[in-house]
């Protein structure tokens, strides 16, 4: 037997070696890039919501003694929203219908999109009113704690994106 491939056959060894070398160089580049960049603390993207008073955020900020109150508030605040979501989905279906219409009517599309925007705005205002009513039940110290932490998060996010520019 000879070590040469049969006539007419192509050798698969060269493409496999080339692919292996390319993969190794890629991984070396990635590892080298990570080793020579700045510290992880400088490049880590800020986590968490910036300036939000969502119940999930309030649970992160306020003392554990308040967590049951926040959970109960969240359950109560979510009641009655089903009709709002159904209305929003109906409006989204109207947007979809305007996209499928032949001929396409931009004015009908804009009107349907505006209805969706207004419905989302109404839902947002209802949510903010409920959150405001809950925050009104908090003592002054907890309201200040909530404001300080949300402002700190907002500034952290702003500073991060300013450095990225």
Domain regions of the chain by residue span: 13-39, 55-164
| Residue 125 burial (C-beta neighbours within 10 Å; 0-12, 13-18, 19+) | exposed
Neighbouring C-alpha atoms within 13 Å toward the C-beta of 124: 7
Give the distance from CA 35 to its chain's centroid: 28
The two most distant CA atoms of the chain are separated, in Å, by: 90
Give the residue-averaged pLDDT of 46-54.
67
On whether the CB atoms of residues 60 and 48 are closer than 8 A, the answer is yes
- pLDDT per residue over 112-140, tens digit each? 999 999 999 988 888 888 889 999 999 99
3-state DSSP percent of the chain in helix, strand and coil, to 5? 75, 0, 25
Query: Measured between alpha carbons, how far is 101 from 20 in angstroms, rounded to an integer?
Result: 52
Give the residue-averaged pLDDT of 144-148.
91
Query: Measured between alpha carbons, how far is 14 from 20 in angstroms, rounded to an integer?
Result: 10
Query: Residue 9: pLDDT above 60?
Result: no
**CATH class of this structure's domain 55-164:** mainly alpha
Query: Measured between alpha carbons, how far is 69 from 59 in angstroms, rounded to an integer?
Result: 10
Higher confidence at residue 77 or residue 42?
77
The pTM of the full predicted model, rounded to 2 decimals, is: 0.58
Q: What does the pLDDT read at residue 126? A: 87
């Amino acid at each position: 037997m000879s070590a040469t491939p049969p006539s007419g056959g192509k050798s698969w060894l060269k493409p496999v070696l080339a692919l292996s070398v390319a993969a190794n160089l890629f991984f070396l580049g990635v590892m080298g890039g990570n080793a020579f960049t700045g510290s992880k603390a400088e490049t880590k993207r800020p986590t968490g919501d910036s300036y939000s008073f969502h119940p999930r955020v309030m649970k992160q900020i306020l003392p554990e003694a308040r967590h049951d109150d926040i959970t109960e508030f969240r359950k109560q605040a979510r009641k009655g929203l089903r009709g709002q979501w159904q209305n929003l989905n109906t409006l989204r279906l109207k947007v979809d219908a305007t996209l499928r219409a032949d001929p396409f009517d931009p004015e009908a599309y804009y009107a349907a999109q505006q209805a969706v925007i207004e419905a989302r705005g109404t839902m947002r205002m209802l949510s903010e009113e409920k959150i405001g009513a809950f925050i009104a039940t908090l003592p002054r110290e907890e309201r200040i704690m909530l404001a300080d932490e949300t402002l700190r998060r907002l500034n952290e996010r702003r500073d991060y994106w300013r450095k990225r520019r």
